[in-house]
Amino acid sequence: MKLKINRDHFSNGLAQVLNVVGSKATMPILSNVLIEAEGNHITLTTTNLDLGIRCKIKAEVKEGGAVTLPVKRLATIVRELPNQDVSFDSSANHQVKLTSGGSTFRIMGIGKDEFPPLPEFGDDRTFTLEQSELISMLKSVAYAQSSDETRYILNGVYFNFRDGKLSLVATDGRRLALTSKEMEVPEDASGAIILPAKTVSELQRMLDKGAKLKVSFNERRAAFQIQTDKDSSGLIDSIYLYSKVVEGNYPNYQQVIPKETHQRIKLERELLQQCIHRAALVCSEKSNSVKLKMTSNLLEITAQSPDFGEAHESMAIDYNGPDLQVAFNPQFLLDPLKALQKDEVFFEVKDEVSPGVFKTLESFICVIMPVRLS
């Protein structure tokens, strides 16, 4: 196996597949990247058996072949090589010689035969989406995933293709974020999966490479084929991401969403975000809440910490309902405000013990449980 490759293209390709490999791989081969050379490109593949990624990088292949090398060490070496041109030469005993300028490295590899192959797309349910749309949908819900491993069903984002739309939902039991978009969903293709948190973060990292992506799934696994633009620093064709899904039934999220609106206030998203952020600067672990007080045309945001002091922010609002006071964990308010792009949001609230709800004119909802006022 002999080839020449651009250092930055090689480094970029390794960066796409690097994160899959954990520090505690169960088998030595799972710490390696599979490098296959043929035609005018090399294919890089990594897997941890739950999640796998494959991408193609253009290269000048003189002799085809395949080898696996420790991906983390290799990525560090390639990044530091002195010249753009890199020669890659693999011998029969899986040792690879890397040459660039005055630098030469010899790296011990393992044969391809031990490397577990990634499953291919089958006759699963398949949909095509815009990358830009999916990235903004994921961003608007991903912060609400649970990190509590005892509630593994909530450790991910729920994708629901049904009734002419795709809905994405995430919840940790104290807040719930939901967004949806209309799309064609044939009756026999409707279905749902829970995509694990690790897969969601890898997907978010990759979704700005091109125009479209194809998602295929069944009850046990999902696969994403992510188009890459021609100028994406050496990447060609598409990136393939395979993932097992979280098995089990997602809770009925519809029953958490309040059915009736009591007080609905239109707010400037960025101004509200800044006010809550500043007020929360005085919060501590013992008193981690901000209080929202609504009176005639005024919203007051206060926070206090017995060890430190207090903060008070106010902003003019269009409100003429009854005086209301309700407290929330500030991070739960800030997460959706940061994730959204719109200038205005609507905040709906009933009383101090009922959840607060952020909405936009598009189909986005975030339900947040209040903190009890003592």
What pLDDT was estimated at residue 303? 97
Residues whose CB is less than 8 angstroms from the CB of residue 38 and which lie 6 or more positions away in sequence, other chains included: 61, 64
Give the helix/strand (H/E) hosting 302: strand 298-305
Residues whose CB is less than 8 angstroms from the CB of residue 337 and which lie 6 or more positions away in sequence, other chains included: 269, 272, 273, 276, 345, 358
Give CA–CA dist 296/235, Å, rounded.
Answer: 57
What pLDDT was estimated at residue 121? 67
Burial of 19 (0-12, 13-18, 19+ CB in 10 A): middle
At 24, is the pLDDT very low, low, confident or very high (cuts 50, 70, 90)? confident
Number of residues that make up the chain: 374
Give CA–CA dist 289/285, Å, rounded.
Answer: 9
Classified as helix, coil or strand, 312 is strand
pLDDT at 25 over 90: no
Enter the tokens of residue 125: 């349910």
Burial 128-167 (b: 16+ CB within 10 A, else e): ebebeebbbbbbbbbbbbbeeeeeeebbbbbbbbeeeebb
Mean pLDDT of 240-253: 96
Mean pLDDT of 62-84: 97
pLDDT at 231 over 80: no
pLDDT at 124 over 70: yes
What pLDDT was estimated at residue 23? 81
- What spatial distance separates the first Cα and last Cα of the chain, rounded to whole Å? 70
Q: What is the DSSP letter of 188?
A: G
What pLDDT was estimated at residue 285? 86
The answer to whether the CB of 154 falls within 8 A of the CB of 129 is no
The phi and psi torsions of 109 (rounded to 5 degrees) equal -115, -175
Return mean pLDDT, the chain: 94
What pLDDT was estimated at residue 374? 67
- For the chain, what percent of residues have pLDDT higher than 90? 89
pLDDT at 289 over 70: yes
Query: The tokens 């992510």 sit on which residue?
Result: 226
